[in-house]
Amino acid sequence: MNARRAPPLAPPPPPQLPLPPVLFADNRFVVLDKPAGLPAHPGPRGGPSVESFFPRLSRRRDGPWLAHRLDADTAGCLLIALRRAALIEAQRHFAEGRAHKIYWAVVAGVPDGDTGTIDAPLVRRSGPGGWRMEIAPGGQPAVTLWRLRGAAGGLAWLELSPRTGRTHQVRVHCASLGCPVLGDPLYGGGQGRLHLLARALRLDLDPPVAAVAPVPPHMRDAMARCGWDGTE
């Protein structure tokens, strides 16, 4: 007589992690203040991600969805669509460069001048150590505007406005200035935590979507050294 197979064990429920702060919410979108270190979507090694919180954001069967992505180590504004029509509309704005994004970064080094534009196409390269983005002729167009907000002790506080949305764009473009983002191990050989914040996001929809993220704790000391007074 053949023994009956036991049914497979159900996966354990996800841990009840605290929901990241909500910066904006309506019946179409939620903007979360994603903490540094939390991936936007599940990775091969498992663990929590922003998508782990989706059941708490909506009970609809056909959503929510990430409307765009942030690197796991980047903090700040992350847009989540609660309805499919909203997702399509937001993705169109991102694809057409109509989403207004502002990043704050503390970088190692001080750029020449007070403002500038980086127009440097990017391509993804794979190697023995994994993949990275590189500036290369014929790559995808990538444009970032930058402004120096303050500097001290070999560090600078930059405000960056990417006009395109390439993977790792802000990090690579900062490195191309000779000023890699503080703590960037991939493009600057840095150690510690990445000092990069998706500070503000605005989509001129009807009605508009707008959110501003606070400076995370791990960036505050370096920001203050560069002139940030904590009032914005």
Give the whole-angstrom CA distance, residue 157 versus residue 165.
21
Establish whether 71 is a catalytic residue: yes
Q: CA 13, CA 32: separation in Å to the nearest integer?
A: 22
Phi-psi sector, 192: left (phi>0), alpha (psi -120 to 50), beta = left
User: What DSSP string describes 162-205?
Assistant: ESS--TTHHHHHHHHTT-PBTT-TTTS---S---EEEEEEEE--
Calpha distance 56→32 (Å, rounded) = 12
CA dihedral 54, 57, 59, 61 (to 10 degrees): -40
* C-alpha 112: how far from chain center: 26
The C-alpha atoms of residue 119 and residue 207 are separated, in whole angstroms, by 32
Catalytic residue from among 33, 71, 73, 184: 71
Q: β-pairing, 75-81 with 196-203?
A: parallel
Catalytic residue positions, numbered: 71
